[in-house]
Amino acid sequence: MIVGSISEDRSFENRVAITPEVLKKYKALGIEVQLCKDYATHLGINDEEYKIEGANIIDQNDDIFSSSNAILQMNIPGDDNLNKLKKDQILIGVLDPYSNEKKLKEISSKNVKCFSLELLPRITRAQSMDILSSQANLAGYKAVVDSFSHFQKAIPMMMTAAGTISAARVLVVGAGVAGLQAIATAKRMGAIVFATDVRLASKEQVESLGGKFLTVEGSENLETEGGYAKEASEDFKKKQEELLRETLKKIDIIICTALIPGKKAPIIIKKEMIEVMQSGSIIYDLAASQGGNSELTKVNEIVETNGVKIMGETNILNKLPISASNLYAKNMFNFINNLYDKETKKFKINLEDEIIQKTMVK
């Protein structure tokens, strides 16, 4: 079996699907790896490093598509490369089936098997493949670091002979993987941290990290069987707004991480709430690519209103591409390992396997 990978569109994606470190694992399975020329030179990884570990470097993308059994990517390839996929080939990546529904239907009609890794079920066996967790963990950390770099005050409390500097107050909206890492990072840097989430089960996790959980009075647990947040009722939203409006008067930095899979991000921080925030405050919106949790978020822009900076980036992990690629490549290999039949030495699409069944885009 041969797996191949081509360069991503570097105008918006710096991560790669295969790193030199995982090549040994593919080799141990008996899987051949071929990559396009200058595959990861932008990360400081030259082709020679891949060759040393056993990869074949191919000059033309066409040759990779024509000879590979599976194509491994970070994102769905561009239209020019999608047309090169052939019958019985496998495409694996973060394919965003909600936004790319039409493209994926066209590919599937050619009998190309597509697997989108963000659809992995939240079961124990899939944890080593869980790209949402590995990438969100880094995103939560980086959002805190970036927002603190724009904040014009010290973060921890400091007691000096000249007086005391109060610790910064941080609110994390959404206590999933990204939110929990944001809480942990902000806490380690000396901030006072608050958090809110529609899933009551997250209260214990927030408090275990030293955060203070803001509970909406009379709220119910809005969590799906898969562990994701589901859309809140209008009554919940109204009560949450009232709680946040008062809280935000004393908050310096907000980290927004609330997302609902396949849907527009819920608007939680309304314009009138931002108006009561202190000048110099920061809102960092990790949900920007899905519309944002803040009403005033603009993708890849820093919006300033009443002295409050609102930051929204589509791909914060472009700022940590080496760490993000290392984790993603391991997730990808673990998925391939599950798809690969060691007896026949071929990829086996066993739809009785929940991991394969849930990630396959039909």
Q: In this structure, what is the dihedral angle of CA atoms 134, 292, 271, 240, given to the nearest 10 degrees? A: -60
CA contacts within 13 A on the Cβ side of 217 = 6
* Active-site annotation holds for 7: no
346-347 and 158-160: which strand pairing?
unpaired
Of 39, 116, 130, 285, which one is the catalytic site residue? 130
**Nearest alpha carbon to residue 31 among 327, 335, 347, 329:** 347
Of 122, 128, 245, 323, which one is the catalytic site residue? 122
User: Which ranges of the chain does DSSP label H, i.e. alpha helix?
Assistant: 20-29, 47-52, 61-67, 79-82, 101-109, 131-150, 177-188, 202-208, 234-247, 271-274, 321-339, 354-359
- b vs e for 7-18, b when ≥16 Cβ sit within 10 Å of the residue's Cβ? bbeeeebbbbbb
Of 7, 116, 133, 294, which one is the catalytic site residue? 133
Q: Are 8 and 40 in contact (CB under 8 A)?
A: no
* Active-site annotation holds for 59: no
* Active-site annotation holds for 228: yes
Of 146, 228, 278, 353, which one is the catalytic site residue? 228
* Active-site annotation holds for 127: yes
Of 60, 127, 166, 233, which one is the catalytic site residue? 127
| List of long-range contacts for 301-309, beta carbons under 8 Å, 24+ apart | 305/274, 305/275, 306/274, 306/275, 306/277, 306/279, 307/278, 307/279, 307/280, 307/281, 308/274, 308/277, 308/278, 308/279, 308/280, 308/281, 308/282, 308/283, 309/150, 309/281, 309/282, 309/283
Helix axes 321-339, 131-150, angle to 10 degrees: 170
**Nearest alpha carbon to residue 42 among 81, 74, 70, 11:** 11
* Active-site annotation holds for 205: no
Q: Which residues participate in catalysis according to the annotation?
A: 122, 127, 130, 133, 228
